[in-house]
Structure 1
Amino acid sequence: MKWYFKVIAMLALVANIVSCKKDDMKYSDADVSAVENLYAPTDGKAVKLLSSSSAALYFEWESALVADGGAAQYEVVFDKLNGDFSKPLYTVTSDNNGNSNGANISHKILNQVAAKAGIEPGASGDISWSVYSIRGMKRVLSKVKKNLNIKTLEGFADIPDELFITGEGAENGTTIAQAIPFKLVGNGEYEIFTKLEAGKKYIFTDRKSADGRVFYSEDQTKIKEAETGSNTVAKTAVYRIRIDFNVSTITYSEIKSMGVYFSPSGAVVLDLPYQGKGIWSATGVINFKQESWGRDQRYKFQMETVKAGKAETVQLGTQTGTDSPPNSSSAPSYYFVRILPNLSQWDDKWKFVDAVDGRPTKISMILQGDKDYTHAVVPN
């Protein structure tokens, strides 16, 4: 009879497993109601999009009900004016990782939605929006939808994944395989530090091949796309070039100088001449400042620029907020650089190692698009 008890036990185990699975499914598959009211923005609201990274529009709706008394999650969906949301143009998870019945949606995302709806850059057009309520595997679309009139940004709908500079006026010449990369510094935003030759043509392209897209600017303000476009500058100089494809803008800042800023002195104590391809470097002697508590060795970098004819001072400092000198076990990130939003004497600085004090030291600033912005300090 042992076989009999074994069969009974096995059946009981299977029944228990099935019961547990059913209990799990009760949570994930609990019925959820459709959202019945969309509160904001109001139907037909007209919105003029702004290029500011903080510009956003708030969407809000009535909470859905869940059969087990739990909470629903939500997604905002966008479609063309008369679309049925079966293939939405864009989907945005609500705030608080989908748990909020509201969503703060940036103007840059709304600009992408408008582009997918066929609204031309700088033009106005209408889109529709609604909300999915979600619980586990169940998703229910609201029967309510509202329209939104959008005045778009003058940006690109198809933003390049990479960007390079090449041409007679560029540092690496016309060989496309040697095109110099930009650095991606934000969503659709690129930056490069490079030298340009006056009167010689160069282009921006999205790939190192002859079939890449070509971007250019006629006025050094707006970026355009055309197969035959090209750029020139009036002055041979080192430039910081920033391109924002979200709003089709380009800015040039001439880099007049780069130097080591010694915080105890509140001044640049070593000029770093430009060496090419985003590198400034020099060898010099840095003497630490004697204080009652010891030798002060704090430093960062400073560059003098001219943007739109206006002189501007910019500092470069640490990414890590360090307050100690490096040692043999310090990570490469100790030397990583960021461009600081404000000028100061003491903030966002590094500390030299003791071996730098009074000895010839090679210091380099490296701002290249295919790696982290960084710097190097090598005592001789």
Structure 2
Amino acid sequence: MKNLKTTFVLLALSFIALSSCKKEEKDLNENLNPIGSLTLPQNQQSIKLTPANTQATQQFKWTAANAEDGGLILYEVAFDKESGDFSKPVYKVLSDAAGVQPQVTITHKDLTKIAALCGINSSSTGNIKWTVIASKATNKKPGQESRILQVERPAGFVEVPANLYLTGSATEAGDDLTKAVKMKKLDEGIFEIYTTLKPGTYQLIDQTTSSARKFFTEGALVKEGTNTITVTGTAKVYYLKYDFNVATVADAVEVQGLGLYMSAYGNEIGQLTYTSNGTWQSGNIPVVFYQFSWGRDERYKFAMHTSAGIRYLGSSNVNNVSPVGQGAAYFYLNAVSNDQWNNTYKFNPSADNKNVKVVLSLNADGPYTHTVTTQ
């Protein structure tokens, strides 16, 4: 009997709870008014896009829409071609704060993508149309106003490669895609390499598979396509630098030699020979510290002879210490000035009046660096 009473009480409570829920049910009010007006940017405003600058942005603002019940409204900024009607926008983006705020900040990089979707080519100027769509639940209301934004695209690719390789008969790795020579990534869309090129052809690829995007150069421009670059003459060592943000060959010089420069003598005391994969090494180089009145001087750096002149590689430290007890970063290589004394390294004290062997690595496998071994 006790169990029956308990069951009856529980059923009664459940009935009361269900009745209460039914009384509190309300139909969802999805009614809202469209946004009032667009405020930023001004209609027909002109913007020169700089997608390579990660800090470059454009803010879009509008007056808020109103919901009849005061509920939450979400906003999307919609972009379309100048002739479009937003029935199929080429691009949409939620406003700031996950779609709640009546504004959004868009990077120049994303605006460059939008410009491309609207048919505006690189190195061209064109118009983009934009408006704001307000929504509450399933109810969406496009703004009653749209504006034109005039954008100027620089030369460059909308999607820059994440990685870059050289492949082809002219390269150190030949035609085997899986062995393509990787370039060092300096920044988004910027790559460089020290490598040998011999008679043959090569191209740039973004991955070592058959589905890779392919690029080639035409004068100072980088273009996408299956064309190849032809190399003639004898095999030579080159330094190549590409900037896909502006689609240009940023630098291309022949590396004619690499010397070990000793500051106190103001001269190179030995030469290194290129082997492969951005690596140079020396034979035995005699080292004699220079005798000053205050002591013996052991400072050195590297002089790279190119078809465009001498370039120096040295330490990031203007005034350096002894390498004894220092970590691997002590030997990292950086582009430095031709100053006789600054940004130099110091030989280990054991190298005085001895021979040294030097290996210098400028490849994509890690930081640019070098080793000095006393013989």
TM-score of the aligned structures, taking structure 2 as reference length = 0.69
Query: d(CA) in 1 for partners of 2:280 and 2:302?
Result: 11
Residue of structure 2 aligned with 1:334, choices 313, 330, 337: 330
- Report 1:123-134 matches (<5 A): 123-127=124-128
Residue of structure 2 aligned with 1:374, choices 362, 365, 369: 369
User: Match of 1:204?
Assistant: 204
| One-letter amino acid of the counterpart of residue 155, structure 1 | G
Deviation at 1:357, TM superposition (A): 1.8
Query: d(CA) in 2 for partners of 1:35 and 1:354?
Result: 76
Query: d(CA) in 1 for partners of 2:341 and 2:36?
Result: 53
Query: d(CA) in 1 for partners of 2:316 and 2:45?
Result: 42
Residue of structure 1 aligned with 2:360, choices 344, 358, 365: 365
Query: d(CA) in 1 for partners of 2:117 and 2:294?
Result: 62
Q: Deviations over 1:305-348 (max 9, x none)?
A: 12xxxx322111223556112224x22111111223x4322222
User: Match of 1:233?
Assistant: 231
* Residue 349 of structure 1 pairs with residue 344 of structure 2: yes
Q: Indicate the structure (1 or 2) with the bigger Cα radius of gyration.
A: 2
| One-letter amino acid of the counterpart of residue 356, structure 1 | A
User: Match of 1:193?
Assistant: 194
Residue of structure 2 aligned with 1:312, choices 309, 313, 317: 309
Deviation at 1:267, TM superposition (A): 2.7
- Report 1:1-380 matches (<5 A): 42-49=42-49, 79-80=79-80, 110-115=111-116, 117-127=118-128, 147-198=148-199, 200-219=200-219, 221-227=220-226, 229-235=227-233, 236-250=235-249, 251-282=251-282, 283-306=284-307, 311-319=308-316, 323-328=320-325, 330-340=326-336, 342-380=337-375
Tell me the C-alpha RMSD between the 2 structures. Answer: 4.0
TM-score of the aligned structures, taking structure 1 as reference length = 0.68
Query: d(CA) in 1 for partners of 2:131 and 2:291?
Result: 66
Q: Deviations over 1:132-161 (max 9, x none)?
A: xxxxxxxxxx99986431221221122211
Q: Contact 1:126/1:148 (CA < 8 Å) preserved in 2?
A: yes
Q: Contact 1:323/1:351 (CA < 8 Å) preserved in 2?
A: yes
| One-letter amino acid of the counterpart of residue 154, structure 1 | A
Q: Contact 2:80/2:90 (CA < 8 Å) preserved in 1?
A: no
Find the residue that maps to 1:272 and give its secondary structure: strand
Deviation at 1:233, TM superposition (A): 2.4
User: Match of 1:134?
Assistant: none
| One-letter amino acid of the counterpart of residue 299, structure 2 | R
Query: d(CA) in 2 for partners of 1:52 and 1:155?
Result: 9
* Structure 1 residues without counterparts, runs of 5 or longer: 1-33, 65-76, 94-100, 132-141
Query: d(CA) in 2 for partners of 1:241 and 1:223?
Result: 12
Query: d(CA) in 2 for partners of 1:102 and 1:207?
Result: 34
User: Match of 2:27?
Assistant: none
Q: How many residues align?
A: 312
Query: d(CA) in 1 for partners of 2:104 and 2:321?
Result: 44
Q: Contact 1:51/1:247 (CA < 8 Å) preserved in 2?
A: no
Query: d(CA) in 2 for partners of 1:358 and 1:89?
Result: 70
Find the residue that maps to 1:202 and give its secondary structure: strand
Q: Contact 1:78/1:127 (CA < 8 Å) preserved in 2?
A: no
Aligned in 2, Cα 1:37/1:207: closer, same or farther, shift over 3 Å?
closer
Aligned in 2, Cα 1:124/1:237: closer, same or farther, shift over 3 Å?
same
Aligned in 2, Cα 1:145/1:321: closer, same or farther, shift over 3 Å?
farther
| One-letter amino acid of the counterpart of residue 222, structure 1 | L
Deviation at 1:162, TM superposition (A): 1.2
Q: Deviations over 1:15-38 (max 9, x none)?
A: xxxxxxxxxxxxxxxxxxx99995
Deviation at 1:46, TM superposition (A): 2.7
Find the residue that maps to 1:114 and give its secondary structure: helix
